């Protein structure tokens, strides 16, 4: 079970977490918990790390550490008053280390990848202490474990470390014993290298930790507790009657991952998928709601389309030139230029004429994409590079689409009837996803039309 | 006007070419002609060049040159008997040079890019002599000009040279005077560098020569004489009632360029397009047929879809992996690997989930593509690389599709009704082309269905 | 004036330093002082830095800092008892920082070049506080200045930073005002980058600091106080009657720099030479002795030979091969191989046949030199690489040798008479130095013979 | 036995060669001969190769080939009139190939390393035919063999190929059988690659061929017939009473190789030295003179100095800078810069202070050396680069110098007495050579003094 940042956001939240865990634990389940930092803390740590490196004056290290202390102490006092003092000692030891490293970074004006990772891992170091104490307060045996103690071994790519396969047996041998008569609380987001250097796992790292731990201990299920009811059929901000998808396959969940505040990062699904462990997404604030269950065999379901994602703030770039035909190096030149400018390419389409490559990038990468591509243009292969900022990308997702002729016809006929003009279409051979791009002002209409076409607001049966 | 290899294939063909030229010339047109080598000759030159470099025994240089001589003499005697002897002297001088270089290559066992280009340019050197003589025989003033004399200046990329912009004024000042009272015959496929070194222009180089010359002399029209009636609505081998497209825009012609034995290489359209010169594709063997006219402003035409290409012998490669999400370097890694293995990528599709990139390559590149990609896989980003050999790519082309909602709906509904399963779809932002991939066995059906849907067999109006 | 480590080694030493300064200051001189760390401290800081990075257990940071504190406190109490308490506060602030950075390095197990420089600069940070306090105690106004405050700006090559020319005006504007009514005490060995990051200046860095400060303030003289009487005619361990050289030119001092515990690093002479400032080398423990004076115009002196250095623990490497003749790349290959193995080449000799290059390296670099050169050998140019460990290098130095024919005759005749066999000879075109290599067992004899030949034990006149 | 270009320069010369060979052959010796091209021919081939590549007009290939033919025919008619006609046919076949390749190079304007080697090997192809025919005329069985047929296998470094060790058994198995009842005439200067591509061996390549062949057939002696009487004690232009050295060791011969029009290139000594085969240098124009014999065990000889070389047109470059001390990369930077500017460094001297490196380069490399070094200077390590054009390098050579103390004393005392000022001295550890540099105007005096000091004009005993 993994609890995200908002789930451990204050004393009430932790109370909820404890009662949820109590409920499942007392029903006879063996449980390991992975926790995020309290909401906001990781961002604050990032910010202070940057600040102490940059500022030439004495930075507010003391007051920062004090505010972090106050925040955590308040929650701790509320959820585990018996042990409060003792746990506070542990926390103070950690805060001393935090103060030390922040001071050193300031004195050197040097924030290495290693020191950054060390600093931002403190959020989980503290929250896990509190959750663990709260469990003990509730009469459940519990110790906090950091990522390293829990056996998560990574490479040394700080800030975005890759978990090594050797982790699996380690996790099993370290976490499972702790589950015999209690609930170990593992700090999410962090691991360590063979040399014991702390690393962090990047975006959505705590979910990833949960998946890794779940796979490592051969869990029956992995539960991700978050602040929404589950994975939804579409963006509820646009489609008010969007619904939670109760049953969804791994692939579908991955494809939908972009939508709805990234409920679940695809990276967090992979370890589970490899072992066939179902991943349940539940709402801490509404634990009785069913949530979504992500699993291998898709539930018997008449639905071919499961959900429709809607990606805003993207731009379409179009690269043209007859000289491109038959030149093996053109795609290389284009994607090398984009990669070297650190542009993440979201959609690519090149039709059979080869004379035209269209890509979708997020708006904030547009400018440097155009810069990068104008160099390719000067290289001579490409005649023209144009772009359009006001577009949205829509992806229709469903495992059932593969092998069901006519789905694309339904999609594009529906869009055509609604008078929606398609700027770009892409369907890869997984056939689980048909993506297209439309003008921003036509986006909501396109989404609505398709949500209706596939009756996604109706109850599943 | 440009005449391809089959158009100057034997004495009868050249007769036809001469009467065509006579017809247009005597109607008061100023004409410059570009000719290919006689059909088969360029390939033979390629083969002998390889042979003399490799063979350790004395290679058959003499008998080869003799056979080339015989072939050309026979035609020359038939089409220009008055000057035959004199022209034969010119031809013999060239054959002497050919013999010389082949001997030198053999003695050194070294075929440099420069000597290869020199050797394979001999086909045009000979055919132009004959066509020019035949014109004189018919009472029309004519001299042969090699690419260098005609002003085609290129970079030094032998085998695939790029024409430099400085060529334009040169061509004008050299070719136009020859057109005042006669028809100059320019050897296609070849140019030269600033230093006078012979280069060749690569695939479809003679068409490219014609377009360059046409643009250089500001021709009213560029006529490409070939052995088919024009650009067709689809592959007539599959769609028996496919028709010639009378009027087609530059863009459409480029997009359709893959179909029907590559009637017109996109590279040959670009120079014409830049100057707005119409390109007419005509059949030497059926000169009265209307042919196709490629031009800027599309003819007022109710048709949104102009033609449908059909590409066989291709393979679909599918690259999957959740680790790909959010990693700017993945597309770079994939396309760099492919380019370094000299793989030409025909179609690309990456939907909005980023976890999946599909590409289409020609069958003969499949094996090395897979090899190249398995290295990327070991690099760790990619989980799986799969492929499917038995597929075809279909592209529906029409300028009218852009801005007309519903076309994609018509396409995919028609395909859906026919039960055709789509493995990959791609529409770039030019919106002139919707490409998709289907199982090979479903290809003809898909083609048929769409040809009917858009009534391409009907007379245009 | 600069005082080395042994000159500030204990309370007595500092007493001596203070009385020296008092003496000169009260005679009306304006003085700036540069101090090293107390002897041994820099090495201890190096050692603890390595230890905290490596050790997996809690390293003895506290006890280390405590011992450093005790050492400095003892001296401080002795030399500046009035201000002791106050200065101790300053020192404790610094020690707090030292403790902080050592702890951070341990927690991260990461010692960056920047943190290393920061740590090892603490020796000077502390000693300068004490010397400054001692001056105040003696009634002389004084403030300590770190390298950065004193205006020493360097590049970012940590551990061996290069002083930038912009330093000069900075030093003048910062140090000179402090000299108006007092003696500023500048921490040697350290500077900082434009961004204020602490750097250290490498081997003999404090002498270098002194030379830089001296040049920056346009000093009349630069005095280097050390623990020997001055630059000597030869190694007194071998030549018991070796004498201090009273007057010596910059060039001679540089050439002799290797001898006698490196009294003066050439790097420390250059800034002075550029401004023509005399550098005086004096003995803190024997201030009344004349010392050596290094200056531009050599003192009118009958002596052509000023001194003879004697370098032990070196090896001779001999590289042979007829293939080397006329190949421009051989020397490159050899010296690139050596440089990449970080071998410092002390002497090189290649006679006019080019078939043989001999080099001298220090013994500890021999093994990796041979390894590096065996790769060059496999490259094919070189036939053989041999070496001899038991050799010494001797250099006869004197500006007067240039342009005086017959000196080399005297040298080699004297050696020949003594039966000394020469393994290698080298005289570069500065003609200030004739170097040769002999068997180790013949070294002392060679040195003795030449010291006598040039009557170096006699009084200068 | 090898005969150089002047030895086969005209009919009289070849007559001499034949009578020399007849003499030795009939005395019962087994002989293989290596010949150079006739004098001047290789240079002419170089020149025409450049000309045909460059000239835009028809180059004078025919007249060139005709003149080469005339030259060789005249000699052939004189020395082998019986077979003249038949051999002329062989020669004409080769001239046909020469004409062919020159024409091809002209048509392509491309002279590749391979075609250049092929062209310049024709001198030996022709001379060997003539010498072989002349031998047959004299009643001695003989066939000509090209380098490839004789078994000389090289790498593909055209223009300066390296002979591979596999050549040895090949040479033995191919050349020895031809020596049973006749004298094979091997074309010098050329070899071929594994693929049979002709290569040439670079400067002094024919001597090198002779040494390779001699070593390959395990000859008792290798005789190099040239146009001087042997290796001399010094340059006879300066020392009129310089004498031929009758007996000289391999090492001494190598060291002296620079002197006297490069009688023997060191490269040509190495294969002989490795097998201990004596190399005899004889004068074709004075066969009765004793010549020089180069061999392993030096003849019992009281002389420690064997000869003194004198190298004019060289420049001394002096590189200074205190920053150089203790920096491993300085020598690398200097020699890399020089090598990349293709400068050949003749002498190097770096004394023990390291602050100064002096090098000697040939005058024509001076300018680019200075350019190259000024970049190193800007790199910051080096303070100053100065040079002196008017210098000469002198090397005193003798194996006996090694281990004889006092020789350097004699040398430098003699020079000192004569008032010669030494600018640079270098003796490497082979101790066979002491080199020094003096002002040009003092060069002859220095040479004279030393030639007298070591009584080199006296008869050896």
b/e per residue, D216-229, with b = 16+ CB within 10 A? bbebeebbbbbbbb
Residue B323's pLDDT band (cuts 50, 70, 90):
low
Q: What's the whole-model pTM score? A: 0.68
Q: Mean pLDDT, to the nearest integer, of D407-417? A: 89
Q: CB-based contact (8 Å) between C197 and chain A? A: yes
d(CA A278, CA D203) in angstroms, rounded, equals 78
pLDDT greater at residue D381 or residue A188: A188
pLDDT of residue D29: 84
The H or E element that residue C409 is part of is helix C407-417
Q: Which of these, B457, B19, B25, lies nearest to B242 by C-alpha position?
A: B457
Mean pLDDT of all residues in chain D? 85
Spell out which residues of chain B touch residue D105, defining contact as CB-CB under 8 Å.
104
Q: Taking a C-beta distance cutoff of 8 angstroms, is the pair C428, D318 a contact?
A: yes
Q: Do D107 and B114 touch (CB under 8 A)?
A: no
pLDDT of residue D237: 85
3-state secondary structure A312-342: EEEEEEEEECHHHCCCCHHHHHHHHHHHHCC
d(CA B132, CA B142) in angstroms, rounded, equals 6
Q: CB-based contact (8 Å) between B326 and chain A? A: yes
d(CA A137, CA B335) in angstroms, rounded, equals 56
User: Taking 80 as the threshold, does the pLDDT of residue A351 lie above it?
Assistant: no
CA torsion through residues B47, B53, B59, B62, sign: positive
Q: Best of D157, D294, D353, D434 to disrupt the C interface by mutation (most C CBs within 10 Å)?
A: D353
User: Taking 60 as the threshold, does the pLDDT of residue D412 lie above it?
Assistant: yes
Q: Judge whether D275 lies within some domain.
A: no
Residue B297's pLDDT band (cuts 50, 70, 90):
low
Spell out which residues of chain B touch residue A327, defining contact as CB-CB under 8 Å.
344
User: Taking 90 as the threshold, does the pLDDT of residue D444 lie above it?
Assistant: yes
Task: Please identify, among D171, D199, D219, the residue that sits at the C-terminal boundary of a domain.
Answer: D219
Q: Is D258 helix (H, G, I), strand (E, B) or coil?
A: helix
d(CA D382, CA B133) in angstroms, rounded, equals 73
In the block, residue with structure tokens 């650190």: A342
Distance (Å) from the C-alpha of residue C198 to the closest C-alpha of chain A? Answer: 8
Q: Judge whether D232 lies within some domain.
A: no
Which of B304-318, C205-219, D321-335 has the weakest average pLDDT? D321-335
pLDDT of residue B260: 46
Spell out which residues of chain D touch residue C422, defining contact as CB-CB under 8 Å.
405, 408, 427, 431
Same-domain pairing of D183 and D46: yes
Task: Please identify, among C194, C219, C244, the residue that sits at the C-terminal boundary of a domain.
Answer: C219
Q: Is B244 helix (H, G, I), strand (E, B) or coil?
A: strand
d(CA B345, CA A355) in angstroms, rounded, equals 11
What would the pLDDT profile of C297-349 be if each residue is shown by its tens digit? 655 556 788 889 888 889 999 888 756 555 667 788 888 888 888 888 888 88
**Sheet arrangement for strand B222-226:** B144-145, B185-187, B33-35, B2-3, B222-226, B279-283, B292-295, B247-249
User: Taking 80 as the threshold, does the pLDDT of residue B141 lie above it?
Assistant: yes
Q: Which of these, C358, B1, C397, A140, lies nearest to D349 by C-alpha position?
A: C358
Q: Do D110 and B112 touch (CB under 8 A)?
A: yes
d(CA B382, CA B380) in angstroms, rounded, equals 6
Question: What count of residues does chain A have?
Answer: 461
Spell out which residues of chain B touch residue D197, defining contact as CB-CB under 8 Å.
108-110
For residue A280, the cross-strand partners are A223, A293
Same-domain pairing of A192 and A326: no
Residue D261's pLDDT band (cuts 50, 70, 90):
very low
Q: Taking a C-beta distance cutoff of 8 angstroms, is the pair A117, A158 a contact?
A: yes
b/e per residue, A435-457, with b = 16+ CB within 10 A? bbbbbeebbbbbbebbbebbebe
Q: Mean pLDDT, to the nearest integer, of B53-58? A: 84
pLDDT of residue A287: 80
Task: State the greatest distance between any 2 C-alpha atoms of chain C, in Å, as a whole number.
Answer: 75
What separation in angstroms does the CA of B416 have from each of A435, B408, D56?
A: 18, 12, 67
pLDDT of residue A126: 92
- CATH number of the domain that D347 lies in? 3.30.2130.10
Query: What are the structure tokens assigned to C118, written together?
Result: 């920061």
Query: If you measure CA to CA, which chain D residue comes closest to C412?
Result: D409
Spell out which residues of chain A touch residue B430, defining contact as CB-CB under 8 Å.
318, 320, 356, 358
The dihedrals phi and psi of C292, each to the nearest 5 degrees, come to -110, 145
Determine D/C contact with 3+ CB pairs under 8 A as the test: yes
Which of B95-104, B376-385, C129-138, C232-241 has the weakest average pLDDT? B376-385
Query: If you measure CA to CA, which chain A residue comes closest to B331?
Result: A335
CA torsion through residues C218, C221, C225, C231, sign: positive
Q: Judge whether B250 lies within some domain.
A: no
Q: Judge whether A169 lies within some domain.
A: yes
Q: Mean pLDDT, to the nearest integer, of B353-379? A: 83
Query: Residue C244 gets which letter from DSSP?
Result: B
Q: Judge whether D274 lies within some domain.
A: no
Among A7-16, B80-89, B315-324, top mean pLDDT goes to B80-89
Query: What are the structure tokens assigned to B107, written together?
Result: 């003695």
Query: Residue B68 gets which letter from DSSP?
Result: H
Q: Is C280 helix (H, G, I), strand (E, B) or coil?
A: strand
Question: In 10 A of CB C457, how many CB atoms?
Answer: 14
Same-domain pairing of C311 and C198: no
pLDDT greater at residue C56 or residue A184: A184
Query: What are the structure tokens assigned to B213, written together?
Result: 């010359």
Residue C260's pLDDT band (cuts 50, 70, 90):
very low
Environment class of residue D54 by beta-carbon count within 10 Å: exposed (0-12), middle (13-18) or buried (19+)?
Answer: exposed
The H or E element that residue C292 is part of is strand C292-295
**Chains touching chain C, criterion 3+ CB pairs below 8 Å:** A, D
User: Taking 50 as the threshold, does the pLDDT of residue B261 lie above it?
Assistant: no
Residue C132's pLDDT band (cuts 50, 70, 90):
very high
Q: At what angle do helices A84-108 and A61-79 cross, to 10 degrees?
A: 160
Residue A91's pLDDT band (cuts 50, 70, 90):
very high
Q: Which domain holds residue C109?
A: 2-219
d(CA B154, CA B163) in angstroms, rounded, equals 4
pLDDT of residue D302: 62
Query: If you measure CA to CA, which chain B residue comes closest to D54?
Result: B195
Which of A192-196, B6-10, D40-44, D74-78 has the weakest average pLDDT? B6-10
Q: Mean pLDDT, to the nearest integer, of B196-222? A: 86
Q: Do A318 and B433 touch (CB under 8 A)?
A: no
Query: If you measure CA to CA, which chain A residue comes closest to C199?
Result: A108
pLDDT of residue C95: 93
Q: Taking a C-beta distance cutoff of 8 angstroms, is the pair D246, D233 a contact?
A: no
Residues 6+ apart with CB under 8 A from A288: none
d(CA D370, CA D315) in angstroms, rounded, equals 11
What would the pLDDT profile of A130-158 be if each residue is shown by its tens digit? 999 999 998 899 999 999 999 999 988 88
Share of residues in chain D with pLDDT > 70 (%): 92
Q: Is B312 helix (H, G, I), strand (E, B) or coil?
A: strand
Same-domain pairing of A36 and A134: yes
Partner B, chain D 214-233, Cβ-Cβ below 8 Å? none
Residue B2's pLDDT band (cuts 50, 70, 90):
low
Q: Taking a C-beta distance cutoff of 8 angstroms, is the pair B149, B118 a contact?
A: no
Which of A198-207, C45-54, C78-87, D125-134 has the weakest average pLDDT? A198-207
Q: Mean pLDDT, to the nearest integer, of C152-157? A: 88
Partner A, chain B 327-346, Cβ-Cβ below 8 Å? 327-329, 331-336, 338-340, 342-346
Q: Do A426 and B427 touch (CB under 8 A)?
A: yes
User: Taking 90 as the threshold, does the pLDDT of residue B398 lie above it?
Assistant: no
pLDDT of residue D4: 54
Mean pLDDT of all residues in chain B? 85
Query: Residue B434 gets which letter from DSSP?
Result: E
Spell out which residues of chain D touch residue B109, defining contact as CB-CB under 8 Å.
195-197
pLDDT of residue C354: 59
pLDDT of residue B258: 59
- CATH number of the domain that A22 lies in? 3.40.1160.10
Task: Please identify, among C219, C254, C284, the residue that sits at the C-terminal boundary of a domain.
Answer: C219
Distance (Å) from the C-alpha of residue D36 to the closest C-alpha of chain B? Answer: 22
pLDDT of residue A261: 46
pLDDT greater at residue A202 or residue C74: C74
For residue B422, the cross-strand partners are B438
pLDDT greater at residue B149 or residue B356: B149
pLDDT greater at residue C145 or residue D4: C145
Q: Judge whether B253 lies within some domain.
A: no
Residue B324's pLDDT band (cuts 50, 70, 90):
low
CA torsion through residues B253, B257, B260, B264, sign: positive
Residue C447's pLDDT band (cuts 50, 70, 90):
very high
d(CA A205, CA A191) in angstroms, rounded, equals 10
pLDDT of residue C316: 92
Minimal Cβ distance to D107: which of B101, B112, B195: B101
pLDDT of residue C282: 85
Q: Taking a C-beta distance cutoff of 8 angstroms, is the pair C22, C138 a contact?
A: yes
Same-domain pairing of D178 and D315: no
Residue C109's pLDDT band (cuts 50, 70, 90):
confident
Q: Which of these, B30, B99, B114, lies nearest to B64 by C-alpha position?
A: B99
Q: CB-based contact (8 Å) between C449 and chain D? A: no
Q: How many domains does chain A have?
A: 2
Which string of DSSP letters, residue by residue, matches D150-212? TT-BB-S-TTSPPBPTTHHHHHHHHHHHHHTTS--EEETTEEE-TT--EEE--TTHHHHHHHH
Q: Mean pLDDT, to the nearest integer, of A386-405? A: 87
pLDDT of residue B5: 52
Residue B362's pLDDT band (cuts 50, 70, 90):
confident
d(CA A285, CA A306) in angstroms, rounded, equals 25
User: Taking 70 as the threshold, does the pLDDT of residue B55 lie above it?
Assistant: yes
Q: CB-based contact (8 Å) between B110 and chain D? A: yes
Query: If you measure CA to CA, which chain A residue comes closest to C100?
Result: A100
Q: Taking a C-beta distance cutoff of 8 angstroms, is the pair C351, C303 a contact?
A: no
Partner A, chain B 357-396, Cβ-Cβ below 8 Å? 357-358, 360, 380, 383, 388, 393-395
Q: Mean pLDDT, to the nearest integer, of C376-380? A: 72
For residue A163, the cross-strand partners are A154
Residue D260's pLDDT band (cuts 50, 70, 90):
very low
Residue A260's pLDDT band (cuts 50, 70, 90):
very low
Q: Mean pLDDT, to the nearest integer, of A250-258? A: 79
Which of A447-451, C102-106, D342-346 has the weakest average pLDDT? D342-346
Mean pLDDT of all residues in chain A? 85
What would the pLDDT profile of A283-331 be if each residue is shown by its tens digit? 888 888 888 888 876 555 567 888 898 888 899 998 887 565 556 677 8
Q: Judge whether B283 lies within some domain.
A: no
Q: Judge whether A88 lies within some domain.
A: yes
């Amino acid at each position: 079970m993994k609890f995200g940042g908002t789930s451990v956001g204050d004393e009430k939240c932790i109370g909820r977490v404890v009662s949820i865990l109590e409920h499942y634990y007392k029903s006879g389940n063996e449980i390991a918990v992975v926790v995020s930092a309290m909401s906001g803390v990781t961002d604050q740590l990032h910010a202070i790390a940057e600040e102490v490196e940059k500022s030439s004056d004495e930075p507010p290290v003391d007051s920062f550490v004090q505010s972090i202390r106050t925040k955590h102490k308040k929650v701790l006092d509320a959820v585990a008053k018996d042990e409060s003092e003792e746990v506070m000692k542990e926390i103070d030891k950690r805060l001393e280390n935090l103060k030390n490293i922040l001071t050193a970074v300031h004195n050197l004006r040097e924030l290495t990848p290693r020191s950054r990772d060390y600093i931002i891992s403190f959020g989980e170091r503290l929250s896990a202490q509190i959750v663990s104490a709260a469990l003990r307060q509730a009469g459940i045996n519990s110790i906090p474990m950091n990522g390293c103690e829990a056996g998560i071994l990574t490479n040394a790519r700080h800030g975005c470390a890759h978990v090594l396969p050797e982790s699996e047996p380690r996790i099993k041998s370290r976490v499972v014993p702790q589950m015999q008569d209690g609930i170990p609380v593992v700090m999410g987001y962090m691991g360590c290298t063979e040399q014991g250097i702390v690393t962090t796992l990047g975006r959505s790292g705590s979910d990833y930790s949960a998946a890794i731990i779940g796979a490592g201990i051969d869990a029956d299920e992995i539960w991700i507790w978050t602040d929404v009811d589950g994975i939804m059929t579409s963006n509820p901000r646009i489609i008010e009657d969007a619904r939670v998808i109760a049953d969804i396959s791994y692939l579908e969940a991955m494809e939908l991952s972009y939508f709805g505040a990234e409920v679940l990062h695809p990276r967090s699904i992979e370890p589970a998928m490899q072992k066939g462990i179902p991943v349940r997404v539940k709402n801490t604030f509404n634990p009785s709601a069913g949530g979504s269950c992500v699993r291998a065999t898709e539930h018997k379901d008449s639905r071919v389309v499961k959900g429709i994602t809607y990606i805003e703030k993207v731009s379409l770039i179009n690269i043209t030139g007859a000289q491109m035909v038959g030149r093996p190096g053109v795609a290389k030149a284009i994607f090398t230029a984009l990669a070297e400018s650190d542009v993440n390419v979201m959609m690519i389409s090149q039709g059979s004429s080869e004379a035209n490559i269209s890509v979708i990038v997020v708006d904030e990468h547009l400018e440097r994409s155009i810069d990068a591509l104008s160099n390719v243009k000067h290289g001579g292969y490409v005649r023209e590079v144009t772009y359009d900022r006001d577009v949205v990308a829509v992806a229709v997702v469903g495992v059932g689409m593969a092998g069901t002729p006519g789905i694309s016809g339904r999609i594009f006929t529906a869009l055509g009837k609604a008078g929606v003009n398609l700027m770009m279409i892409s369907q890869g051979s997984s056939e689980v996803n048909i993506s297209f791009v439309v003008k921003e002002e036509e986006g909501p209409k396109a989404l609505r039309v398709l949500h209706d076409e596939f009756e996604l607001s109706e109850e599943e049966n």
